Amino acid sequence: MDKTVNDYLLSVPVAFGVESLAAREIRLLGYRTEKVEDGRISFLGGDRAICRSNIWLRFAERVQIKLGDFTALNFNDLFEQTKELRWRDLLPPDASFPVTGHCLSSTLGSVPACQSIIKKAIVEAIKVAAPGNWLSESGAPYRVNFNIIRDRVTIYVDTSGDGLHKRGYRANAALAPIRETLAAALVGLSGWRPGMALWDPFCGSGTIAIEAAMMALNRAPGLERGFAAEAWDNGTPLKRLFDEERAQARAAYEEARGGLSAANSPVEIAGSDLSRQYVHTARQNAVNAGTSRLIRFFQMDAKHMSLQNNELSQSGVRFPDRGCVVSNPPYGERDDDLPAARETCREWAPTLAGFPAWNKCIISAFDDFERLIGATAGKRRKLRNGKIKCQAYMYYSADRAP
């Protein structure tokens, strides 16, 4: 029997600065957000919501079930309150349940000790349903994660497995690749919409252009990958529900792809890079993602390009009068060449100025990025590219703000 729609409180961790995009996406899937906070969004949903959100969410890092939260000042508190959570409703007697987590500014500061206590509490909660009160842990994995921050304990069970940024198309990544979820967020922040032109002049492995093309094709980001919860059976095998949701997602993609292939002038999405190898990698990734028909990748120095008569100089790529420049130019953190990265920004400034009617969304780790390119952003948003603190600098045309 299928679980009811409100059976779980689902909790979605997201990158800081992306919360509004992810919350809107959850609502578009048909779910009401219960809480939006820094780095996390919660909503109610059942088994089908687990499947649908894992397959469709572009900006989220994973989908977790929140089992509960409480205050614990000692190990007895931690044990007893963990034991009272609804483990028997979720974990079958043969479940495998590894426990991971972290502690911050709390009385209970030892992560290994907390892992052990939480594990013992779960064992006590579910062993009554196991034959002979013995847990084999030979079944499907239900990965348990805890956060203990200032003595407040929150416990989750992961449904995703690998992080949702792992779409499966990027078999080859260029140096210092941008995470897929962050690339999608930059596209969203730029004000770009399907049907508009987009150009990434520092495309690297092609992630930004590919994420935009996936949106244009209505291609679910999780369409071709697996998830931890597919092995679960909570009265209804979740594999069956995942298959149903995938079939609907694939039909939506095929319909959008057919409509675009029949159009007289499909949307132009382009990516360019100085490196021939990066361009080759980007093209292969686009093939893997099922978006190659919608993207033009080419080798070109971004500093020497201009838009003349709607054509990028020497590229053969034609654009409409308006579109979006979305990019992650180098900032020297990983290749240890900070001066060269800063000079690239300075030399790139005339190219950006040559797109006056286009929106621009540029992510950079340089605090003085606006000074480097000689233009003040209309909006800024603090983000992280991996562990690197960055900002997204957004430049909107007068009538093109999202």
Do 41 and 78 have their domain in common?
Answer: yes
| Residues whose CB is less than 8 angstroms from the CB of residue 113 and which lie 6 or more positions away in sequence, other chains included | 75
Do 236 and 341 fall within a single domain?
A: yes
Amino acid type, 1: M
Question: Do 243 and 354 sit in the same domain of this protein?
Answer: yes
Residue 147, domain member (yes or no): yes
pLDDT at 67: 96
In this structure, the answer to whether residues 18 and 48 fall within a common structural domain is: yes
The pLDDT, as a whole number, for residue 219 is: 96
Q: What is the pLDDT of residue 171?
A: 75
pLDDT at 173: 60
CB contact burial 146-160 (16+ within 10 A = b; e otherwise): bebeebebbbbbbbb
pLDDT of residue 137: 82
Q: Looking at the structure, do residues 324 and 262 belong to the same domain, yes or no?
A: yes
What pLDDT shows up at residue 313?
A: 61
Residue 128 lies in a domain: yes
**What pTM did the predictor assign?**
0.91
Does residue 315 belong to any structural domain of this protein?
yes
Q: What is the CB-side half-sphere exposure of residue 395 using CA atoms within 13 A?
A: 22
**Secondary structure class of 386 (helix, strand, coil):** coil
Looking at the fold, whether 242 and 129 belong to one and the same domain comes out as: no
On whether residue 197 sits in a domain, the answer given is yes
What CATH number corresponds to the domain at position 133? Answer: 3.30.2130.30
The per-residue pLDDT for 305 is: 74
pLDDT for position 266: 53
Residue 1 confidence (pLDDT) = 33
**Predicted local confidence at residue 121, as pLDDT:** 96
For residues 153 and 33, membership in a common domain is answered with: yes
**Same structural domain for residues 328 and 372?**
yes
The total of other beta-carbon atoms located within 10 Å of residue 257's CB is 18
Of 148, 140, 136, which is closest to residue 100 (Cα–Cα)? 148
Confidence (pLDDT) at 175: 59
Q: What domain range includes position 325?
A: 180-220+231-395
Same domain, 247 and 343: yes
3-state secondary structure of 109: coil
Decide if 164 is inside a domain. Answer: no
Same domain, 154 and 204: no
Alpha-carbon span 202 to 306, nearest angstrom: 15
Burial of 4 (0-12, 13-18, 19+ CB in 10 A): exposed
Tally Cβ neighbours within 10 Å of residue 166. Answer: 16
Residue 80 is assigned to a structural domain of this protein: yes
Local mean pLDDT, 10-residue blocks, the chain (402 residues): 65 94 96 94 96 98 97 97 94 92 94 96 85 77 96 98 94 73 96 90 95 96 96 88 97 87 62 92 94 91 71 66 89 73 90 87 95 94 90 81 55
Residue 3 forms part of a structural domain? no
Measured distance CA(118)–CA(78) in Å, rounded: 7
85 and 12 in a common domain: yes
* Residue 314 resides in a domain: yes
Number of domain units in the chain: 2
| CATH number of residue 204's parent domain | 3.40.50.150
* Claim to verify: residue 153 and residue 184 sit in the same structural domain: no
Residue that finishes a domain, picked among 104, 124, 158: 158
